[in-house]
């Protein structure tokens, strides 16, 4: 955890508010949240870093503090099957972002293994002026975007409280399994939600907003696969 504050201070000293994906994943990983295994590749010559560490199919996505919506700039590709295809994709992502956001600061491309047969959920949080750190939970996709099916609580919360928060959303029963899909591991999800709330509380002086989206929950575990953190330091 000692590595977290230096990252936050570095970002603020550079006059930035947004962490890059690489910075954000490293921060939540350092705090102890389970993060899907990832490798940062800076260019196609870096692809060999993936060999022996990750197995296909892969996901590749841009890491830049200036890119908020990766899809809008051609900065994310899924279901990459081979190393050769990965090389082409990394090159394509870097060209897309440089063409559409020529001034963007780019770390490189994050490569991850695709996690199959999981449920997509969102764990978020913000620093509220009245209540302080607040943690949020919802199902991914249409449930958040259209139905606004999100529950909130004041951070930090214990795993038992986190489980109650999970069960409070309208779409909760989907996590119990349907059409042959095994149920989500709610214990691992509650533990992650509790841990995320502790993270928001512990670094409340720095974190303005946090978005772990998506978190993939399988029948065995829960994994952060994408993270966005916005800073605004207060004394």
pLDDT digit string (tens) for 3-26?
Answer: 999 999 999 999 999 999 999 999
Using the 3D structure, point to which of 84, 113, 142 is the last residue of a domain: 113
Using the 3D structure, point to which of 90, 113, 136 is the last residue of a domain: 113
Q: What is the number of alpha carbons within 13 Å of residue 151 lying toward its C-beta?
A: 18
Measured distance CA(105)–CA(142) in Å, rounded? 31
Confidence of residue 147 (pLDDT cuts 50, 70, 90): confident
pTM greater than 0.85? yes
Q: Say yes or no: 81 and 43 in one domain.
A: yes
Look at residue 160 and tell me whether its pLDDT is greater than 80: yes
Using the 3D structure, point to which of 93, 113, 133 is the last residue of a domain: 113
The verdict on residue 26 lying in a domain is no
Residues spanned by the domain of 157: 119-231
* Confidence at residue 156, expressed as pLDDT on a 0 to 100 scale: 99
Q: Say yes or no: 161 and 210 in one domain.
A: yes
Kindly state the average pLDDT of the residues 91-102: 97
Q: Say yes or no: 51 and 147 in one domain.
A: no
Q: Say yes or no: 186 and 133 in one domain.
A: yes
* Residue 125 contacts residue 155 (beta carbons within 8 Å): yes
Measured distance CA(58)–CA(60) in Å, rounded? 7
Q: Say yes or no: 86 and 145 in one domain.
A: no
Q: Say yes or no: 109 and 128 in one domain.
A: no
How many structural domains compose the chain?
Answer: 2
The verdict on residue 18 lying in a domain is no
- Nearest-Å Rg of the Cα atoms of the chain is 18
Confidence of residue 1 (pLDDT cuts 50, 70, 90): low
* Confidence at residue 235, expressed as pLDDT on a 0 to 100 scale: 65
């Amino acid at each position: 955890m000692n590595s977290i504050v230096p990252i936050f201070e570095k970002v603020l000293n550079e006059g930035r508010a947004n962490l890059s994906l690489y910075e954000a994943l490293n921060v939540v990983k350092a705090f102890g949240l389970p993060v899907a295994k990832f490798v940062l590749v800076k260019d196609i010559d870096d692809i060999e870093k993936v060999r022996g560490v990750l197995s296909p199919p892969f996901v590749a996505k841009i890491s830049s503090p200036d890119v908020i919506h990766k899809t809008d700039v051609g900065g994310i590709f899924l279901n990459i099957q081979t190393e050769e295809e990965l090389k082409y994709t990394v090159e394509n992502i870097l060209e897309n972002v440089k063409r559409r956001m020529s001034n963007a600061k780019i770390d490189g491309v994050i490569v991850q293994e695709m996690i199959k047969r999981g449920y997509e959920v969102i764990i978020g949080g913000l620093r509220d002026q009245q209540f302080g750190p607040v943690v949020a939970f919802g199902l991914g996709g249409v449930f958040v975007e259209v139905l606004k099916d999100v529950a909130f609580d004041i951070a930090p919360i214990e795993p038992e409280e986190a489980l109650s928060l999970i069960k409070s959303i309208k779409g909760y029963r989907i996590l119990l399994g349907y059409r042959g899909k095994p149920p989500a591991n709610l214990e691992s999800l509650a533990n992650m939600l509790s841990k995320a709330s502790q993270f928001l509380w512990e670094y409340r002086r720095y974190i303005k907003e946090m978005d772990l989206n998506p978190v993939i929950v399988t029948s065995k575990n829960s994994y952060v696969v994408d993270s966005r953190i916005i800073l605004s330091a207060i004394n």
